[in-house]
């Protein structure tokens, strides 16, 4: 195999459950999300000498038709802009994190929640 060229990006997805105040019955889910934040920081440190950045994105609530009616409106009211995130909102952040411009950003859990209030 040819020598590996230094550099690269590792990106993972999470939710805000690791920063939320807790939800009954969601212990395993919250544990996994908290562990993902820790893995992000540890892996970023491990891969830094290879010029690999490691970040995790929390897209927040995104309008994917999984919620409708009164629940949909109630969640929309939790955003300062009064609207749900659209799939393109976190996608633009992820695209930027993959660029050379974001080479200094590593070991972060980046919230793309539009100011969502829990």
Catalytically active residues are: 29
3 vs 6, 54, 100, CA distance in Å?
9, 21, 21
31 vs 22, 58, 71, 85, CA distance in Å?
11, 15, 26, 25
- For the chain, the maximum distance between any two Cα atoms, rounded to a whole number of angstroms, is 57
């Amino acid at each position: 195999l040819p020598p590996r060229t230094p550099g690269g990006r590792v990106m993972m997805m999470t939710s805000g459950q690791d920063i939320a105040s807790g939800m009954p019955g969601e212990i395993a889910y919250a544990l996994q999300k908290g562990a993902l934040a820790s893995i992000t920081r540890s892996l970023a440190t491990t891969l830094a000498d290879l010029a690999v950045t490691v970040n995790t994105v929390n897209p927040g609530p995104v309008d994917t038709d999984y919620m409708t009616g009164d629940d949909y409106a109630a969640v929309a009211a939790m955003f300062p802009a009064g609207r749900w995130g659209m799939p393109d909102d976190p996608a633009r952040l992820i695209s930027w994190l993959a660029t050379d411009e974001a080479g200094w950003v590593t070991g972060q859990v980046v919230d793309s929640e539009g100011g969502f209030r829990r």
